[in-house]
Chain A
């Protein structure tokens, strides 16, 4: 080989493991310089926004829940909020507290799944939580119990853990009794301790080096850590806008070369999810969550995406403590739902899915039929940042053996807990490359 021949290297994974949904990855290098990075989405499109047209506005929570089996509550909440904003109804008090509690259950379940079963294996050099159980059975048993407690919260409040049936526009079909919620307390107290320990465990992992200058974006919900709702989006560069202006700032690009829809915020890449919420709202974390972050010396703004696992564990502490707080203050509401009828107009709703901001917008006719729907999931918003991370990581670590580099790239994608099923309203195609 002549010394002038360019040396090209391709790192690819056709089917990513331990992510939700089907995706792959391709990184191309030439003479040690990264020339192309793609997070590839194979997940078939499901056209939710298309067939929501003509459905009754009250069907949106049950229909959109089916976009994602991992975060159905996020879809139910964002769709309800959009319909309620349109109707001029605000679900507050205990009806809203129950929503936040249900959402805490989803955060506990989803964060535990990701921290221990999907992401930790990367750091510990095993293929799965099953292999991990052979090395450290106690850790996996703790994870499974934590996950089960999150599911139990969802089951009691929502009826079941995957696609809850109790959520409706304007409230609930049936509010749980105080006794039902109080029965969750001993398990949640155990979960709070277990999640504090989880922070210590994951903070002790070894993290590959990478520092990125992210634009973070998260919802803002007054003086509460944003979970189940938010009136504005705020960003780390000091920007902010009401969610009714979401689509004036966030644009989804259907571009062929990247094989995916990419959202940009005011024209640039940005990051949503635990790292963004933590960077923007650290002071609003529950006392135990803040103490857990302090104890392990977690910096106020985390810019190494591999350390997102620690932030996720801190949020796990927050979700457990917040669930306990909500139960302690619970009084069963007299009516499970408010009155809400059909009304023509446009409504916007957003909540913080475990992996970041989930925005819904609907336009209804005066009979309450959906005229059009727009849904922007978190993974779509994070895609460009994921690719930027891959680009930066491979550029800085080009000398690593190929297999090691591939594994680290996969880990870098899993840093985001990407939910490719969520992103099914966009699709990628295999593009022939020369």
Chain B
């Protein structure tokens, strides 16, 4: 689940592109669109990027589409319908390198909260005619369905990290995306620890860096939107939260949040049910 892990990572393999511009494709599954938007939010770099690659498929940005194969594919969103569970395989087959971007694609997203609820109750809470609804029981990460070459965490992803990943993979090197915790970023930025200074519960010690320790910078505790860091000690953090006065329902909600289906957080959450 870590940003730095590669399940099929062979950077460099597709470096030679016969002098042609590499072909980029961007796909959306169940999500809010925010991670794709992060690519368009790279205002200073967008025209340089689009000059360096051939955008073969990116429906949010262009109506011109071209079939694969694609050199680099970015996938936003989670798998939550039978149709999408098939579609992702076709995209994988067309893609030399596939990167999943964002909390939905790397953990199933906030919509994976359905995985621990009664789906029938959820559907009837929202829809008048449940019989029209076609959906899977669960919302799951892209890597649960196909081999993924790199996972970039974040809700939303950090656009500097996105540019690093795209640039690195196109250059045939391993992306330099840190696997440490928000705490490390927070200390480096010289932000006073919100847990030590104010007794504010914070998920920073177990959450992957990448946001720039934003929440502590704004005097609030991290709520884990970048998902777990590598090998997080969630149990120790839960004990510390209890010492700060957090009760079991609060701990359950904290770990069962935006990235609650990431294995480390999912496991910890069950301890507080």
A69 and B62 form a contact (CB under 8 A): no
Set of chain B residues within 8 Å of A21, measured between Cβ atoms: 28, 33
Interface residues of B in 67-113 (CB under 8 A from A): 80-81, 84, 109-111, 113
A421 and B31 form a contact (CB under 8 A): yes
A51 and B114 form a contact (CB under 8 A): yes
Answer yes or no: B271 CB below 8 A from chain A CBs.
Answer: no
Interface of A is mostly: loop
Set of chain B residues within 8 Å of A168, measured between Cβ atoms: 220
A130 and B50 form a contact (CB under 8 A): yes
CA distance A410 to B152 in the complex (A): 33
CA distance A429 to B139 in the complex (A): 18
What is the distance, in angstroms, from A304's C-beta to the closest C-beta of chain B?
Answer: 22
CA distance A140 to B258 in the complex (A): 35
Interface of B is mostly: loop
Instruction: Considering the complex, give the chain A residue whose CB is closest to the CB of B217.
Output: A159
Set of chain B residues within 8 Å of A22, measured between Cβ atoms: 28, 59
A165 and B215 form a contact (CB under 8 A): yes
CA distance A426 to B117 in the complex (A): 19
A117 and B32 form a contact (CB under 8 A): no
CA distance A56 to B125 in the complex (A): 18
CA distance A403 to B163 in the complex (A): 37
Q: Given A51-B113, A128-B63, A151 and B219 touching (CB < 8 A)?
A: no
B63 and A17 form a contact (CB under 8 A): yes
Answer yes or no: A316 CB below 8 A from chain B CBs.
Answer: no
B135 and A44 form a contact (CB under 8 A): yes
A18 and B60 form a contact (CB under 8 A): yes
The stretch that binds B, out of A59-67, A278-286, A355-363, A383-391, is A59-67
Answer yes or no: B20 CB below 8 A from chain A CBs.
Answer: no
Instruction: Considering the complex, give the chain B residue whose CB is closest to the CB of A42.
Output: B83
CA distance A130 to B55 in the complex (A): 9
What is the distance, in angstroms, from A317's C-beta to the closest C-beta of chain B?
Answer: 20
B219 and A45 form a contact (CB under 8 A): no
Answer yes or no: B121 CB below 8 A from chain A CBs.
Answer: yes
Set of chain A residues within 8 Å of B184, measured between Cβ atoms: none
CA distance A336 to B220 in the complex (A): 12
Interface size class of B (residues with CB under 8 A): 35 or more
Answer yes or no: A174 CB below 8 A from chain B CBs.
Answer: yes
B219 and A128 form a contact (CB under 8 A): no
CA distance A173 to B123 in the complex (A): 34
Set of chain B residues within 8 Å of A70, measured between Cβ atoms: 32-34, 37
B133 and A163 form a contact (CB under 8 A): no
Answer yes or no: B264 CB below 8 A from chain A CBs.
Answer: no
Answer yes or no: B156 CB below 8 A from chain A CBs.
Answer: yes
The stretch that binds B, out of A141-149, A178-186, A268-276, is A141-149
B61 and A163 form a contact (CB under 8 A): no
Q: Given A45-B127, A47-B125, A51-B114, A121 and B155 touching (CB < 8 A)?
A: no
Answer yes or no: A113 CB below 8 A from chain B CBs.
Answer: yes
Q: Given A46-B30, A159-B217, A18 and B38 touching (CB < 8 A)?
A: no
B63 CB contact (under 8 Å) in A18, A43, A44, A46: A18
The stretch that binds A, out of B9-17, B40-48, B167-175, is B40-48
B134 and A429 form a contact (CB under 8 A): yes
Interface residues of A in 100-122 (CB under 8 A from B): 113, 117, 121
What is the distance, in angstroms, from B100's C-beta to the closest C-beta of chain A?
Answer: 16
Which has the most chain B C-beta neighbours within 10 Å: A47, A67, A147, A424? A47
B214 and A256 form a contact (CB under 8 A): no
CA distance A117 to B47 in the complex (A): 13
Instruction: Considering the complex, give the chain B residue whose CB is closest to the CB of A128.
Output: B62
CA distance A45 to B129 in the complex (A): 13
B110 and A66 form a contact (CB under 8 A): yes
Interface residues of B in 49-66 (CB under 8 A from A): 50, 55, 59-65
Instruction: Considering the complex, give the chain A residue whose CB is closest to the CB of B118.
Output: A50
A69 CB contact (under 8 Å) in B34, B121, B127, B253: B34
Mark contacts of A1-44 with chain B using CB atoms, 8 A cut-off: 1 yes-contact digit, 0 otherwise: 00000000000000111111110000000000000000000011
Set of chain B residues within 8 Å of A133, measured between Cβ atoms: 47, 50
CA distance A22 to B31 in the complex (A): 10
Answer yes or no: B3 CB below 8 A from chain A CBs.
Answer: no
Instruction: Considering the complex, give the chain A residue whose CB is closest to the CB of B116.
Output: A51
Answer yes or no: A331 CB below 8 A from chain B CBs.
Answer: no
CA distance A356 to B134 in the complex (A): 28
Set of chain A residues within 8 Å of B36, measured between Cβ atoms: 69
B214 and A160 form a contact (CB under 8 A): yes
What is the distance, in angstroms, from B77's C-beta to the closest C-beta of chain A?
Answer: 8
Question: What 11 new A-B contacts, CB under 8 Å, besides A47-B125, A62-B223, A151-B43?
Answer: A15-B59, A43-B30, A50-B122, A69-B36, A117-B40, A121-B63, A162-B38, A253-B128, A421-B31, A425-B126, A427-B127
Q: Could you name 16 residue pairs across A and B whose Cβ atoms are closer than 8 Å?
A: A15-B59, A21-B28, A49-B125, A50-B123, A50-B125, A59-B253, A68-B33, A68-B34, A69-B35, A69-B156, A130-B50, A144-B43, A144-B46, A161-B41, A162-B156, A253-B128
B residues whose Cβ falls under 8 Å from a Cβ of A: 28-38, 40-41, 43-44, 46-47, 50, 55, 59-65, 80-81, 84, 109-111, 113-114, 117, 121-123, 125-129, 132-135, 139, 155-156, 211, 214-215, 217-220, 223, 225, 253, 258
The 9 closest A-B pairs by CB, nearest first: A69-B34, A128-B62, A50-B122, A17-B63, A127-B64, A254-B128, A51-B113, A148-B43, A162-B156
